[in-house]
Amino acid sequence: MRPWTVADADRHFDMYSRMEVVRWLGSVPTPVASRDESLARIDRWATRAIADSRFGIWAVEIAATGIVAGAVLLVPIPLTGEDQPRPPEQGGDVEVGWHLHPDSWGHGFATEAARGAIAKGFADGLDEVVAVVYADNAASLRVCQRLGMEPTGPTGKWYGVELESFRLRRPA
């Protein structure tokens, strides 16, 4: 895990412009339309990380090749109908998530990166993290299982669509 950089814009665009990637993201899947849009997102993600270092959206780089496999996130998640998420100190939830380029699917990168993000969150004092997954996203459901997350059932609490929810509490 490392911060996204301007040098990653082409890979970011290649990944987030693909419907097979964005179909699992948010209530209205919207592919990135241009490299400039990728640059703007990378800049927003850097700003978010500066605002609160506990949270972020990081590039997942394959150590052996230097290729960005995708992204891992640890971010406060807004409730359906709310524009801004509440931090955990105000009763908000923190989401762990992963988005991978199709050429990086099936290699364990999502699980490894999510474990790193969760460990960072717990080290920074979080008591629990949540994950939300579309019910037909079998690969991400398996990642939640491998992470040892507890299924908490379907919910429309986040993103305005019904998603399967999971929780992992910090070990005592």
Which residues make beta-bridge pairs with 171?
A: none
- Which tokens in the block code for residue 160? 């305005």
**Mind listing the domains of the chain with CATH numbers?**
6-169 (3.40.630.30)
pLDDT of residue 49: 73
pLDDT of 55-76, one tens digit each? Answer: 999 999 999 999 999 999 999 9
How large a percentage of the chain has pLDDT more than 90? 83
Contacts of 45 (CB under 8 A, 6+ apart): 3, 4, 56, 57
Q: How far apart are CA 133 and CA 147, in angstroms?
A: 14
Contacts of 138 (CB under 8 A, 6+ apart): none
- Which tokens in the block code for residue 151? 């299924």
Q: How far apart are CA 69 and CA 168, in angstroms?
A: 24
- pLDDT band, residue 35 (cuts 50/70/90): very high
Residue entry with tokens 């241009």: 34
Q: What pTM was estimated for this model as a whole?
A: 0.94
pLDDT of 88-121, one tens digit each? Answer: 888 899 999 999 999 999 999 999 999 999 999 9
